[in-house]
Structure 1
Amino acid sequence: MSLTRRSLMEATASRFGWRRAYRDTTQVDALLTEQTETTYTEAADHAALATAKNDDALAVQPGVLDVRGRVLADVLYLEGVLVGARNRGLPPELIERLEDAVDHGHEMTVLLAATVRTTAAVHTAGH
């Protein structure tokens, strides 16, 4: 099945709250590779656009704030998944991986918040 067709099917399904689960690590690996390749392809021009747009510290701030908000929302979603996995007694190795992802996500939100604060501090110090 083509990427476009699968993407449309998955987008439609997600609107109804349906998600597909993959039973085979080969399928998961293929999906992860495809996801990575698609994202890098879509972001290919990002560096040039960001260079043109982000000409001072305050110009960086809104984008970093947006990313932090999305990461925080995703981490809180993963926390819910983790709680559900624990409550259902799912395999310990899955719970451990979820804990790692949640911890890393929280660390990332802290780093992003520090970056946002730095944009304001650098701007203030420069004026």
Structure 2
Amino acid sequence: MSLTRRSLVEYAAAHFGWRRAYGDTTEIDSLLNEQALTAYTEAADHAALATAKNTDALAVQPGVLDVRGRVLADVLYLEGVLTGARNRGLDPQLIERLDAAVDHGHELTVLLADTVRTTAAVHAAS
């Protein structure tokens, strides 16, 4: 399926709250590569914009706070997926990977919260 057609199908499915599952690791690898390519392409602009915009610690704070909120929401979603996988007795390897992702996500939210606190502390000290 072409990228354009797949994108349209996925857009329509997402509009109705559906998500497509993939049973082929080759297709998964292709999708993961597309995600990475998109993210890194967009990240190239972020560095220049952040350099111009983030002139002091308080300027950094809103962006980091926004990221923490999105990460926390996604981690809590994954925690629900993990609970469902456990309750359904799904493969232990899948449960182990989900558990590790949830733990890592919670650690990331703590680090981001500490970073937000640091922006305020640095500002107060100056």
For normalisation by structure 1, the TM-score amounts to 0.95
**Partner SS for 2:44:** coil
Distance (whole Å) between structure 2 residues aligned to residue 9 and residue 42 of structure 1? 23
Deviation by residue 1:97-127 (Cα, 9 ceiling, x = unmatched): 000000000000000000000000000000x
1:42 Cα deviation (Å)?
1.9
1:40 Cα deviation (Å)?
0.9
Q: Any unmatched runs of 5+ in structure 1? A: none
| Paired letter, 1:99 | D
| Paired letter, 1:86 | R
Distance (whole Å) between structure 2 residues aligned to residue 65 and residue 13 of structure 1? 30
The residue number in structure 1 matching 2:62 is 62
**Partner SS for 2:55:** coil
* Equivalenced residues, count: 126
Distance (whole Å) between structure 2 residues aligned to residue 112 and residue 93 of structure 1? 29
1:42 aligns with 2:42: yes
1:39 Cα deviation (Å)?
1.2
| Paired letter, 1:92 | P
1:17 Cα deviation (Å)?
1.1
Percent identity (aligned): 82
Q: Any unmatched runs of 5+ in structure 2? A: none
1:110 aligns with 2:110: yes
1:73 aligns with 2:73: yes
The residue number in structure 1 matching 2:88 is 88
The residue number in structure 2 matching 1:125 is 125
**Partner SS for 2:21:** coil
Distance (whole Å) between structure 2 residues aligned to residue 81 and residue 91 of structure 1? 13
Distance (whole Å) between structure 2 residues aligned to residue 65 and residue 4 of structure 1? 34
| Paired letter, 1:11 | Y
